[in-house]
Amino acid sequence: MKKVYNEMAGEMMLPRNGYIHNQLVRLEIATLGCEALGLEVEKVEWFDSCRPRLVVRDNNTTRHLVKTGKAMNYGSEVKNGIRIYLHQMMVEGVKIIWKSDVTKH
């Protein structure tokens, strides 16, 4: 396979390696953005063909983001009879998700 120039890496890379590298850089920048917002990243979810996303812990900051409309609810699930709400927002071009036991705080 032929290498191509990867602008973010500043060097020639195999195309798939370049794609993975670019996604890792985006995750790094988004993690710094989460840190600036006071969001604690729990993990990265990365599926085969889609972009990775960060999962953060629910806290006062995430509740404020939902309340002010900077984050949105995209669904819910029920666990042990308790409805859990799913929230999301974008930080530096990366999807950030979390779960909460209340829709609007």
- Name the nearest CA neighbour of 52 among 15, 86, 90: 90
Hey, what long-range contacts does 37-44 have (CB within 8 A, 24 or more apart)? 37/61, 37/65, 37/91, 39/91, 39/96
Q: What is the pLDDT of residue 57?
A: 98
pTM of the model: 0.88
Q: What is the pLDDT of residue 104?
A: 55
Per-residue pLDDT of the chain (105 residues; tens, 9 = 90+): 899 999 989 999 999 999 999 999 999 999 999 999 999 999 999 987 789 999 999 999 999 999 999 999 999 999 889 999 999 999 999 999 999 987 654
* H helix runs in the chain, sequence order: 15-37, 60-67
**Are residues 42 and 31 in contact, defined by beta-carbon separation less than 8 angstroms?**
no
Handedness of CA 18, 22, 25, 27 (dihedral sign): negative
Answer yes or no: are the C-beta atoms of 56 and 97 closer than 8 Å.
yes
pLDDT of residue 105: 47
